[in-house]
Amino acid sequence: MIDAQDYAEFSRFLADCCGLVLGENRQYLVSSRLSRLLDEFAFAKVEDLLRALRRSADPTLKSRVIDAMTTNETSWFRDNYPFEILRQTVLPELLAKSRPIRIWSAACSSGQEPYSIAMVIAEWEATHPMKANVNILATDLSEGVLAQARSGLYDGLSIVRGLTPERRQRFFETVSNGHRIKPEIQQRVRFQKLNLMDSYAALGKFEIVFCRNVLIYFSADTKRRIFDGIARQMDSGGYLFVGASEAVGSYTDAFEILRTPQGSMLRRR
């Protein structure tokens, strides 16, 4: 078990490098998530790992630690209503303006969210005579989940979480080691490594941002910083989707709540 001093130091390391807040009495969580990494790098205990992190300028170990501690819980069309709002309300409004649309899927994990967005766009195109000029950027700070997302390959368990049989048949092909997203969907999404603690200025402007079910792991100050950063990357009238349990009003006044029959979203003031 990790002693109190090592746990406090490791908690500060995570908060400083990626904003994640462990809270109190989570020593067992840290021990379980780092156990495989300790064995791989031949560290006897977390104290040795912390010493190596302080000593080494090699970003590989730091990246592997973050990968181990990052929660990557996701599914296709998670909660469903944001994708219905996108299909029924947001896309028709923005595409009617005949301008390119940029969508950012922040903290995209292994790719289910941005690929779900791409499927919605493909379904919209199937019922309209014009091609949707939409670019999707998906970012995450974990190299491991980004590699999986770029591959577009998913196993039998993950493929059934949130996908209807019709969508599985239409948008995936069965291969020897699982199920692969078809090129028409995979090519719609560009993946890029990004730490939400860093600047977003180089990403450019977006009309739609998905930042869902990730901010619950951050401190109040970090949430304010992230919402402010997202707001700067959106012009007035842009749409933001957050998790169903994530309140924004306590951290920024840059957005107003819009309610639709399918659920709520946020609009840049």
Q: How far does Cα 49 stand from its chain's mean position?
A: 27
The phi and psi torsions of 75 (rounded to 5 degrees) equal -160, 170
80 annotated ligand-binding residue: no
Q: Is 177 annotated as a binding residue?
A: no
The annotation status of 78 as a binding-site residue, yes or no, is yes
Do 178 and 98 touch, CB atoms closer than 8 A? no
How many angstroms separate the CA atoms of 22 and 44, rounded? Answer: 22
- Give the CA distances from residue 178 to residues 72, 155, 160, 263, in Å, rounded to whole numbers and listed in that order: 20, 5, 12, 34
Residue 212 labelled as part of a binding site: yes
Which residues does residue 259 pair with via DSSP β-bridges, in sequence order?
264
Q: Which residues contact 149 (CB under 8 A, 6 or more apart)?
A: 108, 109, 110, 111, 114, 115, 138, 140, 189, 191
Helices (H), the chain: 4-18, 27-40, 46-55, 59-69, 81-85, 91-95, 112-126, 143-151, 165-171, 183-186, 220-232
256 is in an annotated binding site: no
| Ligand-binding site membership of 196 (annotated) | yes
Q: Is 236 in a helix, a strand, or coil?
A: strand
Residues forming beta bridges with residue 184, ordered by sequence position? none
72 annotated binding-site participant: yes
Binding site, residues? 72, 74, 78, 113, 140, 195-196, 212-213
Binding site for S-adenosyl-L-methionine, residues? 72, 74, 78, 113, 140, 195-196, 212-213
